[in-house]
Amino acid sequence: MSSLMKLIKYGGHYMPNIIISLVAMVIQVVTGFYVIRLMVVIIDDALPAMDTTLLLRTGALMIGVALIGLAMGIVNNFNSQKVAMYVTADLRDDLFEKIQALSFTNIDKFKTSRLITTATNDVQRIQQFFQMLLRIIVRAPLMFGIGLYMAIDTSRSLSNIFFISLPLLIITIVVIMILAFPRYMKVQKTIDGLNRVTLETANSPRVIKSFVTTDHENERFETANQLFKNTNLAAEKISFAGEPIFMVIFNATIAGILFLGAYFMDQGLLISTVSGVALPDVGLLMAFNSYSMQILFGLLMFAMVMIFISRALASANRIVEVLEEEIDLQDCVDCIEQFDVAGSITFNNVSFAYEKDGNRVLKDISFDIEAGQRVGIIGSTGSGKSSLIQLIPRLYDTTEGDVLIDGVNVKQLNIKALRSQIGYVTQTATIFSGSVGTNLMMGRPDASFDDLERATKLAQADDFILTYDDLFNHEIQQKGTNLSGGQKQRISLARAFVRDPKILILDDSTSAVDAKSEEAILNEIERLSHRMTTIVISQKISTIKDMDKILVLNNKGRIDGFDTHENLMKHSEVYQEIALSQVGGGVPSA
């Protein structure tokens, strides 16, 4: 329940609307009970005495009170909806900002499908909770409390029926809460699985269609969908079972009231004398019956709210878990914030594992890169090449050892300031929906038109961008589906060049570029080498053989060599094997 209370605090920013909503709801409930009391006056006083004036005056008052209740209901609904919408908008903002701040390790822990479910389905449940909070959750105890007081005040004898009905209803509500909550927790987890399959399928249409695995993916989704259906059904069965129990108790209570009313009238207890004539207190009985219905409706509403709260509580726990997740990559207290990177990089006995006690993908890595050097990295698949370069902009932290830039441990540098001076082009080109220009300006938001032109020329992207009538305003579809693989890679490269970085990291990011364009890009990098340190990961020796140095990793995550192409051909077995495999038995020349 503490998780839900933490989210309720979001409503503090909208306290005026909450107060207006609650006051309007109280007035609406009170007017409802006052209408019942006026009904007693009409039935027991005005009609038996044939008092037309009292009848008309009371009837007009009932209409006026009912209209006030209607107006207060509208005010309550409007403000409750406003609070719910604004609160969840704030919650989504905080949740999105937290997700953006999570490190790769944190994201690996939660999984993408879980974060999507939390940011959508779980937040939607909290929105519904806030709507119910101001419309029903407070209304239900008000109806119960005021109704019980009015009923007892009307007839203590008839109120004895509540000694039976109320305990039965309360016990039923408690049992349903105990049974429902763990089931709804499982429901949210199955939604994660459903989202995971949907996300994987939506992200891989070409692979699925190319390998004709549509039937297999349909079966995967059907399995996840059936699990969600069965889990959700198991939870909803609790609600379904509770509803008829509530109705039986409700109807039995009404029947009991009528039976007791008839009995007391027969005993002469519910009789009043009007103009010398003894008449049964029909209005009093009807009023008591109405009060009882308000009490029972209040409890029924409370029961439904409790069931919904159990669902909202499951979502609240998941949201708070993300919001309170400790980010493992954070700036130190005395981190250096103002600095200019020169570009020298040192790895000092670095080992790395993605999980705390997991298998180490890098082991005892040590090397030095001078500022302005061009360094290639090569190795077999799974040797840890990408893992190694992700330690430089501190996307992950080392498990052991230190990574230093210009002689300073990266953990002592402000993360944002560090990353702002590094251009990192990932292995898979990531393009966002929007224009070519907005994608490029992610590298530097204040980039000018000339900066964009220069960067696209360096990345050899100007040849296809110039064919667009709207140039940098040309619209890119989601995930860059209207671009070829090579075009996406060149835009990714241009985005890094726009930043004018001090350290440029290319993670096999020219693999989809034709040989001529790749050569031109590497020539531009060589020309700019005096301005930045360049690290190029590649599977092809032809791409990196002219680099100042080449780092070779073996399939155990260790360094097999760190030297020039010529020297590695003489001393590195791994490098020799890669060279031989790529030229079919010959040895590439320097």
Domain extents for the chain? 2-323, 335-421+502-515+528-585, 431-500
pLDDT in tens, 295-311: 877 777 777 777 777 77
Q: Which residues pair with 352 in a beta bridge?
A: 362
Stretch 21-50: mean pLDDT = 81
Stretch 317-344: mean pLDDT = 84
What does the pLDDT read at residue 277? 47
CB 232 within 8 A of CB 188: no
- Categorize the per-residue pLDDT at 270 as very low, low, confident or very high, splitting at 50, 70 and 90: low
State the DSSP string of 301-359. HHHHHHHHHHHHHHHHHHHHHHHTPPPSS---TT-B-S------EEEEEEEEESSTTS-
585, two tokens: 């038995």
- Categorize the per-residue pLDDT at 433 as very low, low, confident or very high, splitting at 50, 70 and 90: confident
Task: Note whether 2-323 and 335-421+502-515+528-585 share their fold.
Answer: no
What does the pLDDT read at residue 64? 92
Q: At what angle do helices 123-132 and 52-101 cross, to 10 degrees?
A: 160
Q: Which residue has the higher pLDDT, 178 or 74?
A: 74
What does the pLDDT read at residue 165? 79
d(CA 232, CA 31): 39
pLDDT of 87 > 80? The answer is yes
- Categorize the per-residue pLDDT at 153 as very low, low, confident or very high, splitting at 50, 70 and 90: confident
161, two tokens: 């029926």
What does the pLDDT read at residue 272? 56
Distances (CA, A) of 51 to 36, 261, 272, 282, 533: 19, 26, 17, 17, 100
What does the pLDDT read at residue 409? 92
What does the pLDDT read at residue 586? 45
Q: Select from 455, 233, 420, 439 the least CA-distant residue to 340.
A: 420
pLDDT of 588 > 60? The answer is no
In our burial notation (b when 16+ CB lie closer than 10 A, e otherwise), range 120-148 reads ebbbebbbebbbbbbbbbbbbebbbebbb
Highest mean pLDDT among 151-165, 346-360, 468-482: 346-360
Task: Please enumerate in sequence order all residues whose Cβ is within 8 A of that of 97, keeping only pairs 6 or more positions apart, or say none.
Answer: none
Locate tokens 């909550």: which residue? Answer: 181
CATH level 3 topology of 431-500: Rossmann fold (3.40.50)
What does the pLDDT read at residue 338? 87
- Categorize the per-residue pLDDT at 98 as very low, low, confident or very high, splitting at 50, 70 and 90: confident
209: Cα separation from own chain's centroid? 30
438, two tokens: 């907005």
What does the pLDDT read at residue 529? 64
- Categorize the per-residue pLDDT at 514 as very low, low, confident or very high, splitting at 50, 70 and 90: low
What percent of the chain shows pLDDT beyond 70?
92
Q: Is 438 exposed, middle or buried (0-12, 13-18, 19+ CB in 10 A)?
A: middle
Instruction: Count Cα atoms within 13 angstroms, Cβ side, for 296.
Output: 24
pLDDT in tens, 176-202: 777 777 777 777 678 777 777 887 777
pLDDT in tens, 362-420: 999 999 999 888 899 998 777 888 889 889 988 888 889 999 999 999 999 998 888 88
CATH level 3 topology of 2-323: ABC transporter transmembrane region fold (1.20.1560)
What does the pLDDT read at residue 70? 92
Spelled out in words, what is the top-level CATH class assigned to the domain 335-421+502-515+528-585?
alpha beta
